[in-house]
């Protein structure tokens, strides 16, 4: 499109992205609300030069591009054309953009600035991104975390054969509710973007409705995932909190399959299906997620399962998942519940055939097959891996107040960052313990771990990091200082942890 054609239009910072002042730089991240994903945003959190955050703060949707550029050029004391040249790269950009400013390089995701269709709910002013220190775009670990999760307990109503949770000891929530409210308040005040609840079963926590109300009140959109059959009055209680959507994890519509997969009693099937019925009638949007394991694999029954949800107007998504390795299950257990290659292919093909035939979106969550990669391809895929956000931008509060990396590292003492019972989130985040865990010195790595002598150590460990869960799953919990099995220098894993 011609530049002159767009000068009179109103462009806005994509409402799917939010920005934060991170003391020595700014951070741009995807908003905590899946409905914004329809705005074609990448799932990102990226560090940017504060000057760019200031520039983007002008795009609040209150004026045309021409007027915005006039303001930008007068604020930065640059020409109108100079401002236009910088900004035009960020308008409806279909892919990420690498940016250089003042000798610093950083990255901006796709569709940073889009034509205004709706109001932004969060606007900024240039003063929000004034920093008082030297700009630091090098260190990946954020000065202030942006993602928090809270594990209410590790207690469930089912005993799934593929369970990935650490249930060697059951923890119920022992954090006083008043302290939880203070944490939510602090999270909001330091700019935490999302505050998720993980389980364990949320509905077994006595204050679940008060917790939801407090999180919604602070502006967080909680994604609830449950296997708990909710009764009519519990659904009333849920609605009263303001809940609009829920994920029901249901692996089959057949009682015997559920008894096999979830080790539940014979009445569970009817109770959970009744619960879906009531949620649908209550107008709560529903996502159904099914883990299809080897022992219950039957293509006809999976088809029946998909068709079953046609009758529910509020079922919006049905997702079929292949079970993955659990750190807390034995190799024999994994080989019992995993899917064979033929089953994985058949499941993907069935989903492909069924897509578009239902009023809901049918999805699969099956990792792509990565066999026969050359050494060069393996390296490429390792360097292109996703970052581990644990202790870099996110943290997880356990039911006893201890803080760890993520919902999968659970109670592992090696990865504890601190405890929030008597310390603030920022005190834990800035503690020596948390910082030292991110910047683990090479000298503490045992000599049998290739990391101990790795020439790429700092680039790897102090940047994207590695998945601790994969390391421990592949080599054992005592080998947590080994490389991730995807690293080109990693020894052959002791355990087979691949889905395929």
Residue 460 lies near ligand SF4 (rule: CB under 6 A): yes
Which residues make Cβ contacts (< 8 Å) with residue 166, sequence separation at least 6? 154, 327, 328, 410, 411, 412
Which residues make Cβ contacts (< 8 Å) with residue 308, sequence separation at least 6? 253
Residue 466 lies near ligand SF4 (rule: CB under 6 A): yes
Residue 151 lies near ligand SF4 (rule: CB under 6 A): no
Smallest distance from ligand SF4 to CB 402, Å: 15
Q: Select the residue interacting with ligand SF4 from 140, 186, 209, 456 (CB under 6 A).
A: 456
Q: Which stretch binds ligand SF4 (CB under 6 A): 80-88, 209-217, 350-358, 451-459?
A: 451-459
Residue 346 lies near ligand SF4 (rule: CB under 6 A): no
Residue 457 lies near ligand SF4 (rule: CB under 6 A): yes
Count of residues that bind ligand SF4 according to CB under 6 A: 22
Q: Which stretch binds ligand SF4 (CB under 6 A): 330-338, 355-363, 417-425, 446-454?
A: 446-454
Residue closer to ligand SF4, measured from CB, 5 or 386: 386
Smallest distance from ligand SF4 to CB 139, Å: 17
Residue closer to ligand SF4, measured from CB, 66 or 379: 379
What residues numbered 362-391 form the site for ligand SF4, per CB under 6 A?
A: 388-390
For 242, phi then psi, to 5°, come to 100, 10
Q: Which stretch binds ligand SF4 (CB under 6 A): 44-52, 180-188, 237-245, 464-472?
A: 464-472
Residue 198 lies near ligand SF4 (rule: CB under 6 A): no
Smallest distance from ligand SF4 to CB 131, Å: 27
191 burial via Cβ count (<10 Å: 0-12, 13-18, 19+):
middle
Q: Select the residue interacting with ligand SF4 from 450, 479, 480, 494 (CB under 6 A).
A: 450
Cα distance between residue 246 and residue 238, in whole Å: 10
Cα distance between residue 438 and residue 465, in whole Å: 9
Paired residues of 17 in beta bridges: 30
DSSP H helices in 405-447? 425-429, 432-438
Candidates 151, 221, 147, 149; CA nearest to 190 is 147
What binding mask, one character per residue, do residues 405-444 give for ligand SF4 by CB under 6 A, x or -? Answer: xx-xx-----------------------------------
Residue closer to ligand SF4, measured from CB, 221 or 409: 409
Write 92-96 long-range contacts (CB < 8 A, 24+).
Answer: 96/42
Residue closer to ligand SF4, measured from CB, 296 or 322: 322
For residue 283, how many other CB atoms are within 10 A of its CB? 10
Cα distance between residue 121 and residue 140, in whole Å: 28
Residue 451 lies near ligand SF4 (rule: CB under 6 A): yes
Which residues make Cβ contacts (< 8 Å) with residue 53, sequence separation at least 6? 19, 21, 26, 28, 124, 128, 129
What binding mask, one character per residue, do residues 62-91 give for ligand SF4 by CB under 6 A, x or -? Answer: ------------------------------
DSSP state of 72: H
Residue closer to ligand SF4, measured from CB, 252 or 484: 484
Residue closer to ligand SF4, measured from CB, 112 or 415: 415
Residue closer to ligand SF4, measured from CB, 31 or 461: 461
Residue closer to ligand SF4, measured from CB, 6 or 471: 471
Cα distance between residue 239 and residue 194, in whole Å: 21
For 275, phi then psi, to 5°, come to -60, -40
CB-facing half-sphere around the CA of 368: CA atoms within 13 A: 4
Asked if 53 and 28 count as a contact pair (C-beta separation under 8 A), the reply is yes
What is the number of helices (H) and of strands (E) in the chain? 17, 17
Smallest distance from ligand SF4 to CB 372, Å: 21
Smallest distance from ligand SF4 to CB 31, Å: 20
Residue closer to ligand SF4, measured from CB, 355 or 442: 442
Smallest distance from ligand SF4 to CB 487, Å: 3
Element (H, E) at 290: strand 285-291
What residues numbered 468-497 form the site for ligand SF4, per CB under 6 A?
A: 468-469, 483-484, 487, 489
Residue closer to ligand SF4, measured from CB, 14 or 409: 409
Residue 461 lies near ligand SF4 (rule: CB under 6 A): yes
End-to-end CA gap in the chain: 46
For residue 313, how many other CB atoms are within 10 A of its CB? 13
Residues forming the site for ligand SF4 (CB under 6 A): 388-390, 405-406, 408-409, 450-451, 454, 456-457, 460-461, 466-469, 483-484, 487, 489
């Amino acid at each position: 499109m011609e530049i002159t054609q767009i000068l009179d239009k109103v462009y806005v910072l994509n409402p799917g992205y939010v920005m934060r002042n991170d003391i020595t730089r700014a951070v741009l991240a995807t908003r905590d609300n899946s409905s914004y994903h329809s705005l074609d945003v990448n799932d990102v959190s990226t560090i940017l030069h504060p000057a760019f955050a200031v520039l983007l703060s002008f795009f609040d949707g209150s004026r045309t591009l021409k007027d915005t550029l006039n303001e930008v050029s007068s604020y930065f004391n640059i020409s109108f054309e100079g401002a236009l040249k910088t900004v035009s790269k960020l308008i409806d950009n279909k892919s990420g953009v690498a940016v250089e400013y003042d000798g610093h390089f950083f990255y901006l995701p796709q569709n940073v600035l889009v034509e205004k269709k709706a109001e932004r709910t969060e606007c900024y002013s240039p003063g929000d991104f004034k920093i008082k220190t030297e700009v630091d775009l090098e260190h990946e670990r954020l000065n202030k975390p942006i993602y928090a999760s809270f594990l209410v307990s590790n207690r469930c109503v089912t005993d799934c054969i593929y369970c990935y949770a650490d249930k060697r000891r059951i923890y119920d929530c022992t954090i006083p509710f008043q302290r939880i409210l203070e944490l939510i308040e602090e999270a909001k005040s330091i700019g935490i973007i999302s505050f998720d609840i993980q389980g364990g079963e949320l509905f077994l926590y006595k204050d679940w409705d008060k917790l939801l109300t407090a999180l919604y009140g602070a502006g967080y959109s909680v994604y609830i995932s449950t296997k708990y059959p909710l009764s009519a009055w519990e659904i009333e209680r849920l609605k009263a909190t303001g809940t609009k959507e829920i994920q029901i994890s249901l692996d089959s519509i057949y009682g015997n399959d559920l008894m096999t997969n979830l080790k539940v009693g014979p009445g569970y099937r009817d109770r959970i299906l009744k619960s879906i019925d009531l949620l649908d009638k209550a107008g709560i949007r529903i996502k159904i997620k099914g883990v299809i394991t080897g022992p219950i694999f039957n293509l006809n029954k999976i088809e029946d399962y998909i068709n079953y949800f046609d009758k529910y107007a509020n079922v919006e998504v049905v997702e079929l998942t292949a079970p993955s390795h659990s750190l807390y299950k034995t190799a024999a257990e994994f080989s019992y519940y995993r899917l064979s290659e033929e089953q994985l292919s058949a499941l993907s093909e069935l989903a492909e055939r069924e897509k578009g035939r239902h009023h809901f979106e049918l999805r699969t969550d099956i990792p792509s097959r990565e066999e026969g990669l050359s050494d060069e391809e393996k390296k490429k895929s390792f360097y292109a891996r996703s970052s581990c956000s644990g202790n870099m931008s996110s943290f997880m509060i356990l039911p006893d107040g201890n803080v760890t990396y993520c919902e999968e590292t659970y109670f592992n003492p090696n990865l504890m960052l601190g405890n929030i019972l008597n310390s603030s989130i920022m005190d834990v985040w800035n503690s020596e313990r948390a910082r030292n865990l991110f910047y683990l010195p090479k000298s503490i790595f045992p000599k049998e771990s290739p990391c101990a002598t790795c020439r790429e150590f700092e680039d790897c460990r102090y940047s994207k990091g590695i998945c601790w869960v994969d390391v421990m799953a592949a080599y054992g919990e005592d080998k947590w200082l080994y490389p991730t099995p995807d690293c080109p220098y990693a020894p052959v894993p002791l355990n087979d942890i691949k889905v395929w």
